[in-house]
């Protein structure tokens, strides 16, 4: 597997995993600020951004293995690893299989439970339509309207086009593979009480894709987890309120460093 990534700075490794169907650019505001004190690694996950896009189902375990191989190749770890949305699903799989590589977890706009039957059917339909049309437009049409809170778009009108451009570059194999992989992911609820590393959970109170109640549920189940809710923020807190998001993350990183 060939992964594109940025590796900036020195010190404690901080690995940032983006969500679907995005790429490493969602972390640009954080990388710009954090790399002065930390080693910030931002990969494009398989099928996304500039990384390879093989055909097939992208299981969360396989994508976690990609990240583990990247850390091995960079000779770094244990690391603090953050996962946004699908990146959070991958992060939980990563902790299940490679706990020795994890110094801390940051779960962003994600959940531990599996999809509903309706959710799995919607994922299958998106994967099939992307393959039939050989286009990423289905992902843009279905997800973009619910990605960001109205308040964020009012404050930064250009944000919508920036996110749309990211989504539009995701490969057809990436859309189909990731959707089928997320639909088949295991429930990670049983893992949460066994997490023994410092954990930060961030979510927006206006998230229309994954309600912030899921973040509250995870915070109740993970020992010593720290929960931070961002007001009037949707599914992309790292871009919607980058200053507040980065400040919370940076403060927490300094505490566990």
pTM of the model: 0.98
User: Does pLDDT of 77 surpass 90?
Assistant: no
Burial of 227 (0-12, 13-18, 19+ CB in 10 A): middle
- What is the model's pLDDT at position 60? 98
The per-residue pLDDT for range 97-109, each reduced to its tens digit, is 999 999 999 999 9
- What is the model's pLDDT at position 14? 98
The per-residue pLDDT for range 213-240, each reduced to its tens digit, is 999 999 999 998 999 999 999 999 999 9
């Amino acid at each position: 597997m060939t992964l594109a990534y940025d590796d900036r700075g020195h010190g404690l490794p901080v690995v940032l995993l983006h969500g679907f169907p995005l790429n490493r650019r969602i972390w640009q505001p954080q990388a710009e600020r954090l790399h002065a004190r930390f080693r910030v690694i931002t990969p494009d996950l398989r099928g996304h951004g500039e990384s390879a896009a093989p055909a097939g189902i992208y299981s969360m375990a396989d994508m976690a293995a990609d990240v583990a191989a990247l850390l091995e190749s960079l000779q770094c770890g244990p690391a603090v690893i953050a996962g946004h949305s699908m990146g959070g699903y991958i992060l939980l799989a990563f902790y299940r299989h490679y706990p020795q590589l994890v110094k801390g977890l940051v779960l962003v706009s994600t959940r531990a439970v599996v999809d509903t039957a309706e959710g799995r059917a919607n994922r299958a339909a998106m994967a099939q339509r992307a393959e039939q049309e050989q286009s990423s437009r289905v992902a843009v049409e279905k997800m973009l309207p619910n990605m960001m809170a109205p308040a964020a778009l009012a404050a930064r009108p250009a944000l919508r086009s920036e996110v749309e451009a990211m989504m539009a570059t995701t490969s057809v194999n990436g859309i189909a593979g990731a959707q089928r992989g997320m639909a088949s992911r295991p429930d990670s609820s049983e893992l949460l009480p066994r997490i023994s590393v410092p954990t930060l959970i961030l979510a927006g109170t206006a998230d229309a894709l994954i309600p912030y109640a899921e973040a509250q549920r995870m915070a109740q189940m993970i020992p010593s987890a720290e929960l931070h809710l961002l007001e009037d923020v949707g599914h992309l807190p790292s871009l919607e309120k980058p200053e507040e998001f980065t400040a919370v993350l940076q403060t927490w990183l300094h505490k566990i460093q």
